Amino acid sequence: MLSLPNEAAEEDADDLSLSGRRRGLARRFVVGAVVVVGMSLTLAALSFTSGLDGLLGSRNPQTSGTKVAVVPTSQRPGADGPTAGVITTSTRPAAESPTGRPTGATAVSIETPGIGSTPPTGTPQPTASSSTPTTLPIATPRVTATAPDVRPTGRILFSSNRRNESSSDERDIYLVRPNGSGLERLTAEFGYDGQPSWAPTGQRIAFVSERTSVRQVWVMDTDGGHPEQLTEGADPSNNPDWAPGGTVIAYAHGSDDDAEIWTMSPDGSNRQRLTRNDRADAAPAWSPAGDKIIFMGKQGRHWQIYLMNADGSDVRQITSDPSHHRYPRFLPDGRRIVYNTLTDSDDPEVGQIYIANEDGTRIRQLTTQSQGRNGRPFPSPDGRYIAFNSDRRSDNFEIYMMRPDGSEPRRLTFKVGNDFEPAWSP
């Protein structure tokens, strides 16, 4: 606080000259002016600080996010004197945003001149006594994440006659990784072993074998060990497919002209017949939810695609145009299916791969005749790829994979002989 001089003492001094009295009056005028100016600046600073707080709102300086702070220059450590306003930045530790995500916060400080500097015209200035900067959070930019291009994982089963390429009926079951490495042969029996299907656990494999003269459904370990026969009889059984829960296997049982869709337990018990009609039904495949089965049925000249509930009820025909539609499978989204077509040629392998909604709408062709003969599509568990067999680059069939839009085809097997019937592991 400023102290005023003792005016009475000055007036009672007998030896005070006229010039001394004038100097005293001048000093009193200067002191009074300084007091007035100081009070005005103080009031202006208080008004400015109050207005700024009202505009920006009261904020906790510990709140995460990017900050803008107004700080008097005179408060800066090492400040040599009044200077113009300066913008500085500082980085705060990461904190959680209101959404719970950490944010690397950067603080931006705007320093203002202290008393004695020349402020911009009409701009009120805070005094050097200001202690806490007022902060304004700046919204952290929203970043849209892009899903990475995940490479396919798991393993792919397939059947091949590469051990005896002169006979298409002598096949073994093989295993390969989606990048073409890790090739293994799982069976080496005389005759046909094919149509492999993974258990949902990935620890057992169902397949078809004629090692007992008639094609029947078997199961084995993933290394080919402990084979067990599940079906028997004079009529063949084909196309096993595990239900998502792993407690049921669907399959086709009967001759080529009157086969029907059946289900059984993984040990061969509890057999139930699902279809009863005058056409041949084959190649059942479960929906991801396990509540539906899609299959192919032949009534008349062509195979068509059908859909039914898991108990065999509500059978609906999906395709009807005059060509073969075979080996349908659901994509993991449960809304779309893939299948291959056949022309009216006597060659059973001539055809292309299509994708469509489960009701048969929005059909789109994925492969073309210029890419050879393509069939047996099997989606990966994440739906990013489709494995299939094709002869597009050689006279024999090999295992390929592609995207669900038909792009990025890649060849997985390279061997004399024909590779068929890929099945992707869970």
> What average pLDDT does range 12-24 have in this prediction?
45
317 residue type, one letter: Q
pLDDT at 41 exceeding the cut of 80? no
Is it true that domain 156-424 has CATH number 2.120.10.30?
A: yes
Lowest average pLDDT, out of 81-85, 163-167, 334-338, 385-389, goes to 81-85
Q: Cβ of 186: how many Cβ atoms within 10 Å?
A: 21
What HEC string does 191-257 produce?
A: CEEEEEEECCCCCEEEEEECCCCCCEEEEEECCCCCCEECCCCCCCEEEEEECCCCCCEEEEECCCC
Lowest average pLDDT, out of 81-85, 198-202, 334-338, goes to 81-85
> What average pLDDT does range 385-393 have in this prediction?
94
From the number of C-beta atoms within 10 Å of its C-beta (0-12, 13-18, 19+), residue 355 rates as: buried
pLDDT at 271 exceeding the cut of 80? yes
Q: What is the pLDDT of residue 300?
A: 87
pLDDT at 15 exceeding the cut of 70? no
425 and 168 Cβ atoms separated by less than 8 Å = no
Q: What is the pLDDT of residue 125?
A: 44
Q: What is the pTM of this model?
A: 0.66
From the number of C-beta atoms within 10 Å of its C-beta (0-12, 13-18, 19+), residue 130 rates as: buried
Report d(CA 400, CA 391) in Å as an integer: 9
From the number of C-beta atoms within 10 Å of its C-beta (0-12, 13-18, 19+), residue 361 rates as: exposed
Report CA-CA distances (Å) from 160 to 137, 170, 346.
Answer: 65, 8, 22
Report d(CA 218, CA 192) in Å as an integer: 12
Report d(CA 381, CA 14) in Å as an integer: 111
The upper half-sphere exposure of residue 50, i.e. CA atoms within 13 Å in the direction of its Cβ, equals 6
219 and 266 Cβ atoms separated by less than 8 Å = yes
> What average pLDDT does range 8-24 have in this prediction?
43
Report d(CA 228, CA 199) in Å as an integer: 14
Best CA proximity match to 402, nearest among 412, 416, 393: 412
Q: Where are the beta strands (DSSP E) in 260-335?
A: 260-264, 272-273, 280-286, 292-298, 303-309, 316-317, 324-330
Contacts of residue 230, Cβ cutoff 8 Å, sequence gap at least 6: 206, 216, 217, 218, 219, 249, 264, 266, 267, 268
Report d(CA 22, CA 12) in Å as an integer: 15
407 confidence band (pLDDT: 50, 70, 90) = very high
Averaged pLDDT of the chain: 76
pLDDT at 190 exceeding the cut of 70? yes
415 confidence band (pLDDT: 50, 70, 90) = confident
CATH 2.120.10.30 residue ranges of the chain are 156-424
